[in-house]
Structure 1
């Protein structure tokens, strides 16, 4: 039982891909995520910005932040990914309780130097080895490794070197404008014809540019931010599901239910019951 709970609270995985790969699903979750690029290049979309990653870059994603990785440059890449819940940091060995500023931010983007990369990789490979071997007292050992990782991340953050900057060429600036518009108008009916006229782009080019930059289709993106807002209101308020569906831009309660379940993996009522 303890092993099942531990697996639920924390996991680490290493994946090496030889071919082109982009995530094909809407992606946000109620766990924290640490992404470390061991080799290759990636584009990483976080909320309204795209970041160009290279070997050794590290990203921390807060809970419920929309993100997606996409192919860039050389198709081969290798990464290590950690997901953990808030509960995993509670009851640390020796009663240690530390807080980190980046836990209250959307994300943390780090470009460690070669010595810092070595320390980070030592911790990550120790995590992978420990998870695979299933040794006794595994939970406190993994907790201590995660705490070491978070401390290293905070030290790099405090060194005040320039963080990874978002990509900012002309095409991406155009997509950033579209994203800003969609986030401001998600609760309305948004038509491709209107977007095409507003941003002076043909519909085929608009859709292709948006997908290439963010990894999302326009419909996927709208549905995702609508569901995110619906989840917030289900957690924090008492409005009916019908009212929330109307206020977040869905044309019917049935459509809302299908899209919500496809993204959240449970019905709106189930989500409210589990998160109140």
Structure 2
């Protein structure tokens, strides 16, 4: 017993291992939460209509923390989300101009329709062409293989065509401009009846589009021409049988300001 030695072992606990062992998990959890919130925000943005996005963009464009400190974002929610008392005119006024005969420009309307198509019809946006022509803004709803607006040889709208017309009607209901509606076919003959040619088919399809637009709220008085062109005005002249030549065209008319100005000057009477 006299030769035995007592050994005392001192262990110093610093706690470094414990801190490094779990801290990364907290940081990673914060990162994942932030990414989830970010992608949720992107998803919500794509689901919001162009009118509401325009309101939100306008709000933040004019926002100043020094002028509006202490106020809530929700105070403006009724204005941004089109509750009673607000109109779609205000939604686009800052970004696209004012809708109406004398306010909106063809370029602004073209941009608004393109944005709506991109947002709401992304899977078939390549079948909708929006361009500016001499008369105003022309919207072409075209066929492609496997995705048609009408069954072969028929003037009955497919559900897909109805979906497209609904989006377009929602975006042109807020203006008063007159409309042309045109029907076009390719050069194939779809009927064995010699009394029912592509002339009749294209006109019937244009009228089917007219009836659906009126059902969706377009005032009948705004539609001033409904015509079928058969295969005489192809979109692709070098390929008359191309399915993309089968289409419905909606022309939103804009008055020629130069001609209108000349008429106004000519009508002035001097004493």
Q: TM-score range by the shorter chain?
A: under 0.3
Greater Rg over alpha carbons, structure: 2
TM-score, length basis structure 2:
0.25
Higher strand share: 1
TM normalised by structure 1 equals 0.25
